[in-house]
Amino acid sequence: MHSSEIPLIQTLLPRFFFYVLFLYICAPCHPASLLILEQGNAWRLSGLVVALWW
C-alpha cells in the first residue's frame, strides 16, 4: 500500500461509518430508506453518496 492511499482511507472510512450509522438510525423510521434496503439498492445508494461526497 502506497503512502498516498492512507489519507484516502482515513477520509473515506469515517464517512462510510457515519453513513452506515445514519442508515441504521433512519431505516426503522423512514419508509424510503426501508424500501431501498428491501429492494437491495443499498450499495447503489452508498455509491451515490460517496460520489456526491467526492
**40: alpha, beta or left? (left if phi > 0; alpha if psi -120 to 50):** left
Rounded to two decimals, the pTM is: 0.35
pLDDT-derived band at 16, boundaries 50, 70, 90: confident
Give the DSSP H/E element, type plus range, for residue 38: helix 31-39
What confidence score (pLDDT) does residue 10 get?
75
The grid coordinates listed for 29 are 423510521
The pLDDT assigned to 37 comes to 60
Checking if the pLDDT of 53 tops 60, the result is yes
* Residue-level pLDDT at 24: 72
